[in-house]
Amino acid sequence: MRDRDIRSALRTELEKAYKDEADTLFIDELGLCTGNARVDIAVVNGSLSGYEIKSERDTLQRLPHQIEIYSKALDQVTVVASVLHIEKVVKIIPEWWGLIEAFDEEGHVKLRTIRKSQANPSVDPFSLVQLLWRDEALSLLREFGVEKGMLSKPRRAIWEKLSQAKSTDELGHFVRQQLKVRGNWRSVQSPMLGDG
């Protein structure tokens, strides 16, 4: 069972689960913390949820690093793992992370929820606003009325200012809204490249 097989089954299940929520956005390979890690599938609606796939061909070597990064920026996280990894994964992931088992049934990938994800108890506001491109972050600073002196600053300074401008919940709302209205995701500059 390969990554793409699990990904296809997961995507089908997610699209079914959110079919009545027209404003739900699915993003493949969403970069977090300026590209420090990429979550396999992100779901953006009233929260920002991430799904990390661990197929039989994967190792769990990167999982501790992924836990650190995903736990900074995502509201909920779920690992979707093959039967081979379930016992190890459940010992590694935080209690608030969800776990789904992917298994083969007559040549088809099936998914079984082992543990539902819960709300992240400590989203980091700076990591959250790093999901915004520089012009998006500046636009929010303007909207909040705190853009003075920031127009020529590098994006890190802009993110820092923005992360302190509102509560984490309010920032989460604004970031999710911006991700949903963003134009062509892959044809414009990625948020992890360059400084502008």
**pLDDT(194) > 90:** no
3-115 CATH, one of 3.30.565.10, 3.20.20.140, 1.10.1040.50, 3.40.1350.60: 3.40.1350.60
**Averaged confidence pLDDT in the chain:** 91
The number of C-alpha atoms within 13 Å of 194 and in the hemisphere containing its C-beta is: 7
pLDDT digits (tens, 9 = 90+) for 112-128: 999 999 999 999 999 99
Tokens 């300074």 sit on residue:
157
**pLDDT(129) > 90:** yes
DSSP H or E run through 99:
strand 98-105
pLDDT at site 184: 63
* Residue spans per domain, the chain: 3-115, 125-181
**pLDDT(188) > 50:** no
Picking from 66, 59, 69, 81, the residue whose alpha carbon sits closest to that of residue 6 is: 81
**Residues in CB range of 121: below 8 A, 6 or more apart:** 96
DSSP string, 160-186: HHHHTTS-HHHHHHHHHHHHHH---TT
- State the burial class of residue 2 (Cβ atoms within 10 Å of its Cβ: 0-12, 13-18, 19+): middle
**Residues in CB range of 119: below 8 A, 6 or more apart:** 47, 75, 76, 96
SS3 of 102, please?
A: strand
pLDDT digits (tens, 9 = 90+) for 66-89: 999 999 999 999 999 999 999 999
- What's the pTM? 0.90
pLDDT band at 185 (very low <50, low <70, confident <90, very high): low
